[in-house]
Chains A and B, each alone.
Chain A
Amino acid sequence: MSILQLAQLFGFAADTKTVKQDGSGAEDKTLADLKKGQPAQVLGFQNAEHPSAQRLMQLGMIKGELIELLRSAPGGDPIEYRVMGYNLSLRRAEAAGILVEAH
């Protein structure tokens, strides 16, 4: 069972089929797929109505914002990111609900 499926099971992530593809060629990923030090830009949320998504937007996780993976805890989860000038830790399942464009 993939992490995304697990996230869907917990109601965090919406069905992946609803994700829009703009065909720009840039690779659409989720935050959980980022590699260390790889900068990315926030595109949006799988489920923007989820309370966590609302909270994350208030924390600065809005479309166009730059984000970078700093490190992960033992076992690869949770993961620490740098966004809007501060460090934020997210569980992998939560990160999988955030769509990004990796550079």
Chain B
Amino acid sequence: MTPTNRSHLIATDIEQSPQAVIAVIGNPNTGKSTLFNLLTGMRQKVANYPGVTVEKRVGELKIGARHFQLIDLPGTYSLAAHSPDERAAIDVLLGRIANMPPPDAVLVVVDATNIKRNLFVATEVLELGIPVVIALNMVDLAAAQNIHVDAAALAKRLDTTVIATIAAASGQNNLEPLKAALSEAVDQKTQKPWALLDDIKHAAEQLADDTNRQFTPQPSGDGETQPVAAYEVQRALIDKGGEAEKRLIAEFGDNLSLRLQTLRDQLSPDQTLAERDAHQRYAYIASTLDGIVQAPSGQLKSSWSERVDQFVSHPILGSLLFVLVMATVFQAVFSWATPMMDLIDAGSSWVTAQVYTALPEGAIASLLADGVVAGVGSVIIFLPQILILFAFIIVLEDSGYMARAAFLMDRSMRWCGLSGHSFVPMLSSFACAVPAIMGTRVIPDTRDRIATIMAAPFMTCSARLPVYALLIAAFIPQQHYVYGLINLQGLVLLGLYLLGIVGGVLTAFLLKRTVLRGSTPTFLMELPPYRTPNIKSVLLRLVERAKAFLIRAGTVIFFVSVVVWSLAYFPRSEILAAEFERQKLAVESSIQVEAEREQAIAQLDNELAAAQMEQSLLGRMGKTIAPLFKPLGWDWKLSAAVIASFPAREVVIAVLGTTYAVGADVDAEDASLRERVRNAAWPDGRKVFTPAIAVGLMVFYALCLQCAATVAIIRRETNSWRWPAFAWFYMTGLGYLGAYACAQLG
């Protein structure tokens, strides 16, 4: 295809040079993505398709001096689309995505161990008229199961190129023949006409022609005119009630819907057209494979994978193993990450100290140290947990275990409207919601995925723990019950964990029964054979996850951190600074003992910081907004600390440290902060923090969404600002109500 004859499909501004495009398609679990990773290496870009949550993965393939653009389409069993997410594949193939020309060739990855089902989508792609190369993948694994496919004979019968490739995990890939075939296919420009169901194809072509003649194509949103593609009409005919039909009816009205139904009745009077299509396609595949595939007869019950499953998917033994696997993952994310996170923390403190020694005191030093360094630190602090959790998730997914976990857990997740796919992301959010939300990509159903994303931030993550630790230690008495076995402080912590679980589960439950209600709860899931993950592919995906987080979430967190820093820093009062300078001089001359003097000066510094904070924008905002928080029993200091902790909950401790004049470098175990907080009083002498107010504050932090990273990652994963905005207002509103209830009841 030359750039001229497809120009009507390309949006006006072409970013890339007219580089040939190759789409990669295939069933899930065929090693498609691994093959894609091996072909493109690090030269990949990941984005979202417009309007849906499906990942658009584009990479560059170099063959000799030529550069091709490779597009990895989501794994699919057929080109039929019954949800907007499933439409991505067909939209790419028909060139309907803005700024993306239709592909010049399609690479169909076919699993040789299960060639019959895998050829279904291949025969559909062959009908598109785009040159096709079939990668007959995993021929080595097939051979190990005594399955032998004659690739040359298959190529001849399908009238296309078939290249045998071996499972990527074996590490000794020779991809040269595949690359040569791809290069040749691109030059070939068109595939020979190929139709399995001639009458359906002709009917679709006729209807498309009629429609295009009747309606002058209207410029669509992005300023291009798109005639109706015959294949889209064919899909609308076959997939009754599917996406293609919905879109055509939306564009051309109900009249078209009637014509589609009339055609369906003509083409297939005694069974549905989908049934006829599936039957004829599988009949064709069976006759094509006849004589060129040697496979052991029977159902292959004694395969290695099958024997493993007798244990792994066993209702009792399998469940025990699952608990063990999850305990390991949880343990790893929670505690293996801690040393690395401490190191990052120490590193950022060290850099902060260096900045203060290197630069003169003032706005620039503070911006660099408390704004920039702290901001960067608060972004990369998430990396250890993200990397560890994803290493597990990717390996569990690629090995085939994740499907078994979803199988075992499906029933336990179902009552709140979710499926087994949601279990692992939900559990991971007890460590941190950010990687958990990124992990919801394992959930195939969009509505389930969004419900899980909305529920995950409720789980008690590691950032809530320091807040709980401080407030519990300060306000919950050390009381023991049942011979010292039960501790009141522990009970409160347990209560907060349960509150998060109940909040999350109820949220999923309510969403799935209202805005995210689906037509039918389905759980069609392939349980793929167990396979060894490819190390290189796992590492590439890890790097990609980390990059996605740093770019999308990192920029938001960084921006918010700098904004909060400016609010807390400006304006500076010179009068206050001069006043404290005078007091310092007075202290220096009056106190003789060095230790005492230093302590007094440090105390003055802390009090200066507190005074500056009080008259800073943040302090003023705290005072302005305090009436709103009055019903919760919060004073302006607490209100300011809550505002400042928008980027991250745990920041509340440092801000409380500053406002209560004990210095910002406090941690949750700090006794002086605990003391100050306990003694904080209203102007009339009443204590600010009664146990009820403290519990209310903890309930607030249990329920609210004070975490810029989570907000940013919800934006990235749902591909819109609607869901993160909803999550923030909903959760913060719940937090407010919870804290209000505590204040009123206490």
The chain A residues found within 8 Å of chain B, CB to CB, are 10-12, 44, 48-60, 62-63, 66, 68, 70-75, 77-78, 80, 82, 84-91, 93-94
Contact = CB atoms under 8 A, between A and B. Distances in A.
Given A48-B275, A55-B524, A57-B279, 10 more contacts: A10-B520, A51-B242, A54-B278, A62-B282, A73-B408, A78-B410, A85-B300, A88-B525, A93-B521, A94-B523
B57 interface: no
Nearest to A77: B411
Interface stretch (B1-9, B31-39, B113-121, B657-665): B113-121
B523 to A, nearest CB: 5
Interface in B479-522: 519-522
Contacts of B240: 49, 54
Interface string B290-318: 00000100011100000001000111100
B241 interface: yes
B319 interface: yes
Given A51-B519, A55-B82, A94-B523, A75 B117 contact: no
B520 A62 contact: no
A56 B524 contact: yes
B526 interface: yes
B241 A62 contact: no
Nearest to A97: B520
Contacts of B117: 59-60, 84-86
Contacts of B300: 85
Interface residues of B, number: 46
Contacts of B525: 78, 88-89
B527 interface: yes
A60 B408 CA distance: 24
Contact of B78 (A53, A58, A84, A85): A58
A58 B77 contact: yes
B519 A75 contact: no
Interface in B539-556: none
A89 B527 contact: yes
Contacts of B82: 51, 54-55
B74 to A, nearest CB: 15
Given A59-B117, A80-B313, A88-B527, A52 B408 contact: no
A80 B116 CA distance: 20
B271 interface: yes
Given A58-B278, A62-B278, A88-B525, A71 B313 contact: yes
A84 B521 contact: no
Nearest to A80: B527
A57 B278 contact: yes
Contacts of B411: 73-75, 77-78
A86 B114 contact: yes
Contacts of A49: 240-241, 272, 274
Contacts of B410: 73, 77-78, 89, 91
B519 A60 contact: no
A87 B309 CA distance: 11
A55 B319 CA distance: 29
Given A63-B279, A80-B527, A58 B522 contact: no
B80 interface: yes
Interface of B: 77-78, 80, 82, 114, 116-117, 120, 239-242, 271-272, 274-275, 278-279, 282, 295, 299-301, 309, 313-316, 319, 403, 407-408, 410-411, 420, 519-529
A55 B313 contact: no
Contact of B275 (A57, A70, A82): A57
A87 B120 contact: no
A44 B275 CA distance: 9
Given A71-B314, A74-B315, A54 B522 contact: no
B524 A52 contact: yes
Contacts of A82: 299, 301
Given A87-B526, A88-B525, A89-B523, A55 B116 contact: no
Contacts of B120: 58, 60
Contact of B319 (A57, A71, A74): A74
A74 to B, nearest CB: 4
A70 B553 CA distance: 44
Contacts of B403: 89
Contacts of A55: 77-78, 80, 82, 522, 524
A54 B523 contact: no
A75 B316 CA distance: 11
B520 A11 contact: yes
B306 to A, nearest CB: 8
Given A12-B520, A52-B522, A59-B77, A73 B282 contact: no
Contact of B407 (A10, A44, A78, A94): A78
A88 B526 contact: yes
B524 A59 contact: yes
B282 to A, nearest CB: 6
A11 B77 CA distance: 24
B443 to A, nearest CB: 15
Nearest to B79: A58
28 contacts: A44-B275, A48-B272, A49-B240, A49-B241, A51-B242, A55-B522, A57-B279, A58-B274, A58-B278, A71-B309, A71-B314, A72-B315, A73-B315, A73-B407, A74-B408, A77-B411, A78-B411, A78-B523, A80-B313, A80-B527, A82-B299, A85-B295, A87-B309, A87-B528, A89-B523, A89-B525, A89-B526, A90-B523
B314 A57 contact: no
Contacts of B313: 71, 73, 80
Contacts of A93: 521
Nearest to B239: A54
Contact of A85 (B80, B116, B309, B519): B116
A55 B669 CA distance: 57
A52 B728 CA distance: 35
A80 B305 CA distance: 14
A58 B314 contact: no
A84 B239 CA distance: 22
Contacts of A74: 315-316, 319, 408, 411
A71 B311 CA distance: 11
Contacts of A68: 299
